[in-house]
């Protein structure tokens, strides 16, 4: 199979190139202005674009169009309308107006809104987001949109992200002027989301109700071999996986996604796909799309792609490393240290803004990665811990120390005075870099590693942008009086010094998994929220509300609504998991155990009759019978606890009850079942075991 990548790349995207090619110059120009300045499109222009878009989509085989949006459910939503319109004598024509492009009115009453939208006034509307690209997929033209209530409250994940990008841009443009960047008029946040996933055989999956209903295994004894030999990471690709990945690349490329890197991950059956970074808003859409394509392509290979954060106990879970930076419209990457003393100074100041921001709003970063699924990663025995800290690397740390202590930064051969000499370039991506840090500097960007593999990246990026917007605007306030004076540099250094003194505690270059770090972090006063339920209530803390309001990201109502939706989702997830466990236990696992006990008892009876020893059978029966009793009791307990939980009206109290009571009973029940599984013969256990699932592809 020979594919011409440049030829197929973005063939299904109404890309910039297509627009430039097909739209009249003035229409194209108006559209670009709209995109850059967020202005409203006039209807004539919209009509023109819609018609061109339709013609193009028809050529690509589309018959329908859909407003594609990202509600608070966590997945994407779409409703398809055909282009069809009646014409004379019962014939049909294909039509698409500017109005239909720009605005849609899905019946929105079933999407979560956290009480923002009473069902009596259930109307919400979708509005075209021209900063992202339309594309054709499976016979429909997809139009990326934002989703709002008629009173203007946000009901989706994209709107806050777009607002945060604007806020960051305004703050950063002002800030950069202090450093003589008078030509910068727009700063855009960028993201490259490395996506981890598991692949397992579909036949196995189909036999596991837990995977089907919850995306993770709720039972399952650990296999004799896990990931301890480290023989999976970057291992050569088995043929079935390689063929899946080749197919995936092709599909992603056609949709304009720059899929770049693919490899096996640490856990058996775990893999990764990383695209080349792009703007946060396009990156978010593309990540949502990539996840969907990953699942669909898997089916063609009789595989299932699991995006859950923790499909299997005992081996690593999956995350989504959110690589983040900022680019200016004159081509600077603001997290690149640069080559001149002034560029260095600007970079170091921005770095200090991040240090201060991440320290002051560590809770928001934690919240942005909170979900029931991700609780099994963060704060459990794996990467990264639930405590937010920052890793800068040795060299950079030494530079900051020199600033803080008013000394000169020295390498083995040279000394550098900040603002006077140019710093040596810092190693990018050195292989020894710290992989246990939740927020690590990697040479020209930060890698936020807490995000869960199934999560929408809009939220983490929106919060990060808002935090940085706040710090940069604060820095600008402080430094503005000294702009273009000979005091500027010393004031910058002063500011950095103060920030470092106060916020150094967020920097941690050691092992983030260690127990010592948890104790050390506590001494430093860093927040540690081990679970979603501990983290989410801090969303509406006064200091957080303040910056969301200041930059128009969320109103108090919107924020409260989101808090409620997140907590409700947490409780619902656990309720489904608990009920799935009860069902599997009652209908499959316990009956199989009892059946085996019966078989053994029959054998014992026969052996007794003919007078030969049945010691093995008797011992096994005794063991299994005790376990079966405990199992039965656990089922009854869990059922009672879930019923009790459902009676609780207050969302936070309910979520806490699920976390504290229901989850621990689920864990107890699993331990019992896994012990039984280890004793039972393979052919008597009614569901595929771990070895079969993770070593079979």
Binding residues vs ligand ADP (CB under 6 A)? 190-192, 194, 261, 274-277, 321, 323-325, 333, 429, 444-445, 447
Token pair 């990264």 in the structure block, residue: 384
Q: At its nearest, how many Å lie between ligand ADP and the CB of residue 192?
A: 2
- Which one of ligand ADP, Mg ion, none is in contact with 445 (Cβ closer than 5 to 8 A by kind)? ligand ADP
Contact between residue 63 and residue 92 where contact means Cβ atoms under 8 Å apart? no
Closest residue to ligand ADP, Cβ-based? 192
Residue closer to ligand ADP by CB (options 333, 603) is 333
CA 405 – CA 435 distance, rounded (Å):
28
- Which one of Mg ion, ligand ADP, none is in contact with 191 (Cβ closer than 5 to 8 A by kind)? ligand ADP
- Which one of ligand ADP, Mg ion, none is in contact with 261 (Cβ closer than 5 to 8 A by kind)? ligand ADP
* Closest residue by Cα to residue 69 from 296, 374, 284, 308: 284
Q: At its nearest, how many Å lie between ligand ADP and the CB of residue 446?
A: 9
Q: At its nearest, how many Å lie between Mg ion and the CB of residue 68?
A: 28
- Which one of ligand ADP, Mg ion, none is in contact with 190 (Cβ closer than 5 to 8 A by kind)? ligand ADP
Helices and strands in the chain: count of H runs, count of E runs: 24, 20
Residue closer to Mg ion by CB (options 324, 475) is 324
- Which one of ligand ADP, Mg ion, none is in contact with 277 (Cβ closer than 5 to 8 A by kind)? ligand ADP
Residue closer to ligand ADP by CB (options 324, 539) is 324
CA 355 – CA 20 distance, rounded (Å):
41
Contact between residue 188 and residue 265 where contact means Cβ atoms under 8 Å apart? no
- Which one of Mg ion, ligand ADP, none is in contact with 324 (Cβ closer than 5 to 8 A by kind)? ligand ADP
Alpha carbon separation from 195 to 76, 324, 657 (Å, rounded):
17, 14, 32
Alpha carbon separation from 685 to 411, 618, 636, 682 (Å, rounded):
63, 20, 22, 5
Contact between residue 323 and residue 228 where contact means Cβ atoms under 8 Å apart? no
Torsion on CA atoms 321, 288, 351, 357, rounded to nearest 10: -100
Q: At its nearest, how many Å lie between ligand ADP and the CB of residue 189?
A: 8
CA 317 – CA 84 distance, rounded (Å):
46
Residue closer to Mg ion by CB (options 193, 642) is 193
Token pair 């970074």 in the structure block, residue: 277
Q: At its nearest, how many Å lie between ligand ADP and the CB of residue 431?
A: 9
Q: At its nearest, how many Å lie between Mg ion and the CB of residue 323?
A: 8
Q: At its nearest, how many Å lie between ligand ADP and the CB of residue 261?
A: 5
CA 158 – CA 147 distance, rounded (Å):
8
SS3 call for 200: strand
Residues of this chain that interact with Mg ion (CB under 5 A) are 194, 321
Residue closer to ligand ADP by CB (options 212, 276) is 276
- Which one of Mg ion, ligand ADP, none is in contact with 340 (Cβ closer than 5 to 8 A by kind)? none
| Rg over CA atoms, the chain | 28
Identify the helix (H) or strand (E) that includes residue 673.
helix 663-679
- Which one of ligand ADP, Mg ion, none is in contact with 333 (Cβ closer than 5 to 8 A by kind)? ligand ADP
Residue closer to ligand ADP by CB (options 36, 261) is 261
Q: Who's near 490: CB < 8 A, 6+ residues apart?
A: none
CA 537 – CA 450 distance, rounded (Å):
18
Q: At its nearest, how many Å lie between ligand ADP and the CB of residue 441?
A: 12
- Which one of ligand ADP, Mg ion, none is in contact with 529 (Cβ closer than 5 to 8 A by kind)? none
- Which one of ligand ADP, Mg ion, none is in contact with 192 (Cβ closer than 5 to 8 A by kind)? ligand ADP
Q: At its nearest, how many Å lie between ligand ADP and the CB of residue 295?
A: 20
CA 492 – CA 654 distance, rounded (Å):
49
Residue closer to ligand ADP by CB (options 142, 324) is 324
Residue closer to ligand ADP by CB (options 154, 325) is 325
Residue closer to Mg ion by CB (options 156, 194) is 194
Sign of CA dihedral 609, 615, 616, 618: positive
CA 74 – CA 321 distance, rounded (Å):
18
Contact between residue 201 and residue 222 where contact means Cβ atoms under 8 Å apart? no
Residue closer to Mg ion by CB (options 273, 423) is 273
Q: At its nearest, how many Å lie between ligand ADP and the CB of residue 365?
A: 16
CA 404 – CA 369 distance, rounded (Å):
32
């Amino acid at each position: 199979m020979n594919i011409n990548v440049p030829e197929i790349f973005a063939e299904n995207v109404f890309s910039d190139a297509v627009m430039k090619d097909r739209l009249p110059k003035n229409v194209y120009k108006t559209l670009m202005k709209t995109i850059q300045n967020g202005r409203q499109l006039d209807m004539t222009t919209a009509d023109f674009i819609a018609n061109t878009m339709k013609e193009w989509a028809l050529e690509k085989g589309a018959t329908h169009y859909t407003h594609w949006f990202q509600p608070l459910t966590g997945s994407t939503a779409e409703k398809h309308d055909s282009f069809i319109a009646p014409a004379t004598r019962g014939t049909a024509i294909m039509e698409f107006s500017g109005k239909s492009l720009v605005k849609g009115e899905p019946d929105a009453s079933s999407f979560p809104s956290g009480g923002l939208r009473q069902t009596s006034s259930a109307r919400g509307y979708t509005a075209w987001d021209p900063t992202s690209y339309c594309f054709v997929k499976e016979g429909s033209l997809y139009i990326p949109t934002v989703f709002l209530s008629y009173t203007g409250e946000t009901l989706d994940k994209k709107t806050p992200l777009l607002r945060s990008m604007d806020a960051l841009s305004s703050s950063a443009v002002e800030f950069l002027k202090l450093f003589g960047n008078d030509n910068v008029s727009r700063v855009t946040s960028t993201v490259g989301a490395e996506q981890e996933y598991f692949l397992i055989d579909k036949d196995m999956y189909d036999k596991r109700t837990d995977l089907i209903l919850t995306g993770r295994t709720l039972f399952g004894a650990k296999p004799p071999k896990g990931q301890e030999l480290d023989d999976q990471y970057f291992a050569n690709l088995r043929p079935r996986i390689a063929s899946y990945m080749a197919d995936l690349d092709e599909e992603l490329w056609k949709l304009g996604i720059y899929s770049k890197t693919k490899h096996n991950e640490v856990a058996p059956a775990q893999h990764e796909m990383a695209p080349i970074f792009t703007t946060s808003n396009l990156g978010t859409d593309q990540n949502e799309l990539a996840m969907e394509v990953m699942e669909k392509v898997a089916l063609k290979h009789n595989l299932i792609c699991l995006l859950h954060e923790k499909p299997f106990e005992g081996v690593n879970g999956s995350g989504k490393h959110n690589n983040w930076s900022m680019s200016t419209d004159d081509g600077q990457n603001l997290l690149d240290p640069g080559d001149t003393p002034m560029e260095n100074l600007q970079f170091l100041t921005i770095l200090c803004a991040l240090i201060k921001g991440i320290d002051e709003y560590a809770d928001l970063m934690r919240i942005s990665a909170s979900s029931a699924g991700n609780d099994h990663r963060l704060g459990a025995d794996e990467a990264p811990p639930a405590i937010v800290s920052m890793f800068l690397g040795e060299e950079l740390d030494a530079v900051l120390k020199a600033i803080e202590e008013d000394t000169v930064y020295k390498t083995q051969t040279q000394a550098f005075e900040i603002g006077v000499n140019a710093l040596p370039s810092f190693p990018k991506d050195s292989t020894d870099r710290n992989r246990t840090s939740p927020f690590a500097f990697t040479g020209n960007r930060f890698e936020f590693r807490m995000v869960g593999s199934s999560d929408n990246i809009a939220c983490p990026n929106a919060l990060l942008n808002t935090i940085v917007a706040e710090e940069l605007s604060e820095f600008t306030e402080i430094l503005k009086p000294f702009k273009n004076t000979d005091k500027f540099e010393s004031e910058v250094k002063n500011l950095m010094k103060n920030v470092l003194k106060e916020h150094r505690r967020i920097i941690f270059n050691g092992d983030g998994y260690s127990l010592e770090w948890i104790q050390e972090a506590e001494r430093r006063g860093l927040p540690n929220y081990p679970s979603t339920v501990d983290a989410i209530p801090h969303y509406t803390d006064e200091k957080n509300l303040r910056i969301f309001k200041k930059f128009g990201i969320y109103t108090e109502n919107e924020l409260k609504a989101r808090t409620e939706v997140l907590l409700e989702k947490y409780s619902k997830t656990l309720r489904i998991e608990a009920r799935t466990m009860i069902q599997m236990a009652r209908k499959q696992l316990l009956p199989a155990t009892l059946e085996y006990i019966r078989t053994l008892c029959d054998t014992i009876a026969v052996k007794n009759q003919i007078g030969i020893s049945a010691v093995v059978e008797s011992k096994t029966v005794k063991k299994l019978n005790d376990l079966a009793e405990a199992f039965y009791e656990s089922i009854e307990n869990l059922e009672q606890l879930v019923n009790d939980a459902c009676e609780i009206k207050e969302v936070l109290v309910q979520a806490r009850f699920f976390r504290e009571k229901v989850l621990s009973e689920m864990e107890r029940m699993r331990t019992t079942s896994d012990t039984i599984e280890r004793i039972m013969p393979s052919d008597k256990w009614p569901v595929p075991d771990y070895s079969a699932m993770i070593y079979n592809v």
